[in-house]
Structure formats: structure tokens, C-alpha cells
Amino acid sequence: MALPTDFDESPVRAPLAQHLAFLYPDSDPEQLADEVIAIFDQFQPQGPLPLHQLWSQEDSLLITYGDSIVDNGSAPLDTLHQFLNEYLKDSISSVHVLPFCPFSSDDGFAVIDYTKVNPKLGDWSEISEIAGNYRLMADIVINHVSSESEWFKNYREGVEPGATYFMEANAGDDLSAVVRPRASSLLRPTETSRGLKHVWCTFSHDQIDLDFRNPQVLMEFLRIIRLYLQHGVSIFRLDAVGFLWKEPGTSCIHLPQTHEVVRLIRTITDYFAPGTLLITETNVPNHENLTYFGNRNEAHVIYNFSLAPLLVHALLTGKSEYLKRWMMTMPPAPVGCTYLNFTASHDGIGMRPAEGLLSDEEQLQLVETVRRFGGRVSTRRTADGGERVYELNVSLFDALRGTVDGEDPWQVERFLCSQTVMMGLEGIPAFYIHSLLATPNDQDGVAATNHNRSINRHKWDWSDLQQRLSDKGSVHHRVFEELSRRIQLRRRMAPFHPNATQFTLQLSEPYFAFWRQSTDRSQSVFCVHNLTDAVQELKLSDLNLILMDSWYDAISGTRLDDQNAVLNVAPYQCLWITNR
């Protein structure tokens, strides 16, 4: 392909060359920069998007598989779009459709072909239609591909593209420090045209790690990003990106080259597709996760991974101590960045982000309680050859079936409290579809697949779901309607802007509370949550409400004219006390 004559004048060429020189010191960075620019030659740079246009309090995100709702005779992506338009158009602004490509395992995360939509879900037209009505987030499963992919077939046969795309290990490599999220063996013996090789598998032997030390692997993924942009994707989730770059003798996680790849992708999207957001999926301890903001030049958004285990622990024990301590140490997101707050996902409740925040005894109590409520546990291999709990596999609705003392009648209230806490925090709230729908543990799914994660990946029949959501006596109707109402309340309240000021309130142990103030300082919200199954007293004077303002609870609509009053706060009740 002939390169346009204005490549030398492109203002993005120099920063691209800097990124590429760091990653590939033995290659010509100028030539590689020209290759990158050629990939995006159809995109017209428009300048950076103003920060105030990146997100607002009106934003919230739905996480779903393309076939979480199925209807015989219809493409699941069409059914999903119908569900969004009928039930969520007034509350949800963005949709994360989990991997929608053909795959061989891990419910989509072992991608066979990134350029195609799984025909069992639909095609690119359905993806583009959803993107036309909602901000669409898609996964770039960047660390590995399926063993059934064309690239890996070519690797075994010794032909390109693919022959040099995969990470191999040699007999003398020191792999003792490698950090992994699985207990399976790291290396997979593979017969190739060049003899027996041992390929790297961070996750499973069906998910073969790519070798980004080859610049052509990077170019392949930039072409995939271009394709997704052309179909309307505007948020990219870089899956398992922390493991991307490997060097034997190191931990092979969060290496400097990995951060440089994220910075390079950020440079590209900021220049060629301003307004596109990058979110890094790094399910690791909190201090490691925060590094992916970089110097405001890596991810726009990072997952608030520690929230889920700490919040579940708080609601199961009735103790706010650990949740409060964590929140007080969390830095405000840098300008132009924010957090994605979530309490449930397709992967379950990650426990690595709780390391250093919950003691081993508290973690064990959490694990055993969730097990009593039907949950499962997945482990990971540690550097010393042992195993630790990696994640809790459970429907969040069922994880909150009771407390450490056993089941009780407060499941719905406790669950609504969990989601309301998430909605109030600094950042953008993300709702897993099975949380919105109060889906219980899918034990039949686990039995059918023999995979723990299937417990929280139920597939709803569309007509059955419609019936349950319309049945005012069903728990699904009750949860969905109240969550939708609270999301819509939140959208109208400026203190819930993702970057509005936040301070932790020092109320008594049963409460988890914080204060949010709008960016123009005209409105405040005191978010107060009773974490216990008992009625608690709340002295309004403890909140230091400004006397000149009129205050009310936005959730209940109750006016609070006497600022010296003592409120009786019901079990798991949430208050949004605001002055407007």
C-alpha cells in the first residue's frame, strides 16, 4: 500500500514513533509509525473532546452477554436491543456487550476470529444498530486467542500470519515469579512443523498467549480496533491487559511495555477517534490497578475492583470498618479520568482486589458465607506453588440472601442497598444484567457446563422475562422497578457527576456514608446507608446540614425540615439527603 505524502507532517507521527521506539528498539520506529497511520487513514482527526463531554451523572452502563436474553426465531442481539429500548432507554446510556465474536471456550474470551460476529448472536448490522442508540463498549481480548483460531493453526504449520505470533518458553526460562489467575499449568506442549514447542497459556490451554514483542501482533490488534470503530464501538475494554507483555525472570504482569502499549492505543484513539474511551480490565490489588490511569495518558476509566468484595463483606457482617477505610484511601480520579463502579459481573466477585484490605480471617468468613448461599469458589496458583481464592462465583442477589448469621427476610432490601451504594460513589455505575433482573444462582448452568462461572450467566427466555417483569408480585419486578427509579433519580442530581467531590462521613459503625457535591458547588447529597438488619437512629445534626437550605431525602421524598431531628433508619435503608 502506498503511503500518503502527508505522513511526515502528521502531528501524531512523532508521539507514535516514541511509543514504538520504546517497545521495539531493534525496529525502525518511523516506519512502524507510518504503518499505524496507514491503518487509520480513513479517519479524519477532529481534535480532543472537551473533558465535560466525556461523561456526566446521566451515564450508567449495562453489562450483558449478547444472548443473556433469548427469543426463538430472533437474533439474540436483536432481542437485547428490544429489551434495552423497552425497559432501559430512560436509565441506561451505555452497553457493554461481552465478547460477541466466534469462540471456543470461556463464554467468548477464547476468540476464534475477531473480525466476525458470532452468527448465533447476529451480525455486524445488529452491533451497529445498538451502537446507534447507546454508547457501545466492546472487548478487545488482547492477551490471548483461541487454540482454534487461524493464527494458531498457522503457528503450528509455520506460516504467516501466525507463525511468529505466540509466546513460547524455553527449557532454561525462569518462570518461578510469573503471576497468574489460574491454577492450571502455564505451558502447553504443542506439536508444530518445527518440532515440539511449549506455548504460554496464562488462562487456559485453549487460550494461547500472543507475543507482543513482534510488532505485527500489535498491528493486527490496531486493525481490529479500526474495524470496531467503523461499526460504532466507542468504549474499548482491554481484557486481561496486565498480562500482555512477558519477560522470563519477571512477574510478567504490569511490565513497562504493557503500560506503553496502553499509552500507544490511547494516543491513537485520542487523535483518530476523539471521544473514544479506554478501560483497562486489571483484576488485581488496588494499588496496582490505579497505575493504569498513568499520567492521564493511559486508561480513561479503570474498574473499581475492590468495591465488590468489600461491599459484600460489609453487608454480610453489618460492619462498615473495612469499606470505610478503603474509601478514605482512594484518591480522586485524575482530571479526564474516572472509575467504573460495579458490584457484579460475568466473572463473579474477584478476591484479589481485597488482598491487603480484608484480613485472611475476614476473607474466609466471606467465602464460607457465600458458599452457604449456594456460591462456588475459584482459585489461583501462587508463586510458592500454593493456591488462594481468586473469585467467588455467585449471583450477587443470592450472595446477599442473608448475613454471616444465616438467611433472613431482608434479601431484597440488602441487595437494593448494595446497588444504591454503587450508584452514589465517585465514578460511573455499571449494572450487570442479572443484578438488574434479580437473577438467582443458576445451578443448572453449572451442572451443564461444569464451570463455576456459569452460576451467574443465566440465559433468560424473553417471554418469561417479560411476564416476570410485569408481575408486580415477583421479586424481579420489585427489584427492577426500584433500581430503575433510583437510576433515573441519580441522572437528575448533579452531585453524582462522576468527578464531583466526595468525602467519607464518620458516622457510627452500622452506617456507610459519604458526601457528594456538584462541580459548581450548588448542590450537595449526603448518601447514608444502613448496613444492618436492625433499625438504626440517625441524628441529622451529625451531618452538619447548612441551616439556610431546605433538605429532603430524594429516595423517599421525605422533607427534613427539623435539622435536629432523629430519624429511624430501617434495615438496609438508603438516604440521599439533598438540598435541591
Binding positions for substrate are 106, 144, 237-239, 346-347, 453
Secondary structure of residue 143 in the 3-state scheme:
coil
- Active-site choice (209, 239, 270, 553): 239
Burial of 196 (0-12, 13-18, 19+ CB in 10 A): exposed
Secondary structure of residue 349 in the 3-state scheme:
strand
- DSSP H helical segments within 149-235, as ranges? 150-157, 215-230
CA neighbor of 115 nearest in space, from 100, 104, 126: 100
Measured between alpha carbons, how far is 323 from 55 in angstroms, rounded to an integer? Answer: 26
Burial of 537 (0-12, 13-18, 19+ CB in 10 A): exposed
Measured between alpha carbons, how far is 112 from 126 in angstroms, rounded to an integer? Answer: 20
The four Cα atoms 407, 408, 411, 413 give a dihedral, to 10 degrees, of: -150
- Which residue bears the cell 472537551? 50
Tell how far CA 396 is from the center of its chain.
15
CA atoms within 13 A on the CB side of 441: 18
Annotated active-site residue 239? The verdict is yes
Q: Which residues fall within 8 angstroms of residue 272, CB to CB, at 6 or more apart? A: 12, 40, 43, 45, 229
**Pairs from 478-482 (Cβ < 8 Å, separation ≥ 24):** 478/412, 478/438, 479/397, 479/412, 479/415, 479/416, 479/436, 479/437, 479/438, 480/87, 480/436, 480/437, 480/438, 482/416
* Residue type, position 403, single letter: T
Binding-site residues sit at: 106, 144, 237-239, 346-347, 453
CA angle 458, 107, 210 (to 5 degrees): 160
CA neighbor of 377 nearest in space, from 386, 368, 442: 368
Active-site positions read: 239
